[in-house]
Every structure is written in C-alpha cells, then in structure tokens.
Amino acid sequence: MENGGGGGGELMFSDEELREISGVKRGGDYVEVTCGCTSHRYGDAVGRLRVFIGGDLEITCECTPGCQEDKLTPAAFEKHSGRETARKWKNNVWVIVNGEKVPLSKTVLLKYYNQASKNANGSHRSHNGRVCHRDEFVRCTRCNKERRFRLRSKEECRIHHDALADVNWKCPDLPYDKITCEDEEERASRRVYRGCLRSPTCRGCTSCVCFGCEICRFSDCSCQTCIDFTRNAVA
C-alpha cells in the first residue's frame, strides 16, 4: 500500500478495511484506488477513484493512454465508459477486491459519500429548518459590475443558476430587482456579507456553501452539474 505523506487520508479507512482492495494509495485528504466500469460493447474502462474525507468522489479515467478525462463524477465516468445500463453507478462502477470486480455499493468506499448525502440538507439548514445558501454574485458582461443574487428559494436559485450559465448575462436581466448598468455596484465592504449562519463575513463553510440539494439543482436542466446531481440522487 502506498502512502501519500500524512493527513486525513491516513485516518479515513483502516488498513484492514483496505487490505484486499487493489491499487490503494493514501493522500493528504483522500484515498485512491483502482476502479473501472464494464461495457458489453467496449469492455472494461479502468480509472483511478479518489475518495475524499468530505464525501466527494473523483475518477481519473485511464481507458486509453491518451484519455484526458479526469475529475469525473462516478456517474460521468459510467457514461464515458459506454455502459449500456447507466444511471446505476453505485452498482456499475467497481473496484478489485481479492482479484474480483466488486461494485462500489458493496465496499466501505462509499462510507463518507453516503454520510455526506444523508447530511446534505442537515448541515445547510437554518434554525427554522430551511436549507441555507449564501448570497452569490454574477458579473455583468456589459458594465463589469458584480450583482448580488439571494438564494432563499428554489426560484431564486434557478435565477442565479441560469444567470451563471449565461455567458452574456447583463444587469437588466435580473428579474426581481429593477437594475441597470448605470446603478452603482455594492461597496466592497458590503459585498463581504454573504448571509452565512456562522458568520456574515464567512468566505465559505459547510453552513453556507451547498454543493447540491433539491433546492439548487434542477432535473429539467441540461447542464452537467444538474445531470450529475439527478443521476446520483436516483442511484
């Protein structure tokens, strides 16, 4: 077993838990193992799965010597492999245990992912039970000023989501504030206040930064972020 040099990766899983898994390497805040996904048409696509202590999963594909796909979600890796029955990555993406291909769902490797999913809304809820997302900013392509987006409801999250995806977004496109490019930008001292429950001047923490929930991800959106979230949610 290789060692990446100290940190949380050494504490995530015991040696006993990982003893029979192939290609184990411990990093600062992750554990890396050999993984793969099998297509009946194209055969095995092999990669390197990184399991982070926060629950994130990243796969670097090694299906061919020149493949440039990295930091793939398991769902995206499953699709990239050409797997015919996609949308079930927990069962279709495998690791090698004792020389046998074993689905991720039957290993300890999803421990942190499952815990993060279970607490996905809990750590982002305010005292009244509502999911908390901090305010975000989008820069106008015409005047170069940053405009605040409040993310208190699914509708507001969708407005911000669509604005972020619009490479030509402009101040007049903001639907709930009648604002033009001539209006002053918020002072820098005001922009640091983002509405975090822990601290109004927080630069980003688990209380105010959400990486995906039913309020800020949309099943009818075709962007990769929403597609991955929807696939993972139903897996």
Residue 70 shares a structural domain with residue 142: no
Q: Domain check: are 66 and 155 in the same one?
A: no
Q: Which of 89, 121, 153 is the last residue of a domain?
A: 121
In a domain, 165, yes or no: yes
Q: Which residue has the tokens 């002053």?
A: 184
What pLDDT shows up at residue 123?
45
In 3D, which of 44, 43, 55 has the Cα closest to residue 12?
A: 55
Is 1 domain-assigned? no
Looking at the fold, whether 109 and 147 belong to one and the same domain comes out as: no
Q: Token pair of 185, please?
A: 């930008």
176 within domain boundaries: yes
Verify that 40 and 98 share a domain, yes or no: yes
Per-residue confidence (pLDDT) for residue 153, from 0 to 100: 83
- Are 107 and 190 in the same domain? no
The answer to whether residues 23 and 94 belong to one domain is yes
Which pLDDT score, from 0 to 100, does residue 5 have? 41
Q: Which amino acid is at 80?
A: H
For 18, the enclosing helix (H) or strand (E) is helix 15-18
Do residues 27 and 7 make contact, with C-beta atoms less than 8 angstroms apart? yes
CB atoms within 10 A of CB 169: 18
CA 113, CA 59: separation in Å to the nearest integer? Answer: 14
Q: Which residues of the chain have pLDDT under 70?
A: 1-10, 86-87, 115-131, 206, 233-235
Q: Give pTM, 2 decimals.
A: 0.52
Q: Is residue 88 part of a domain?
A: yes
Looking up residue 48, the CATH number of its domain turns out to be: 3.10.390
What is the DSSP annotation of 139-195?
E-TTT--EEEE--SSHHHHHHHHHHHH-TT--GGG-SSS---TTSPPPPHHHHT---
State the maximum Cα–Cα separation within the chain, in Å, rounded to a whole number: 66
Which amino acid is located at 218 in the chain? F
pLDDT above 70: percentage of residues in the chain: 85
On whether both 93 and 28 belong to a single domain, the answer is yes
Token reading at 183: 């209006």
Asked if residue 117 is part of any domain, the answer here is: yes
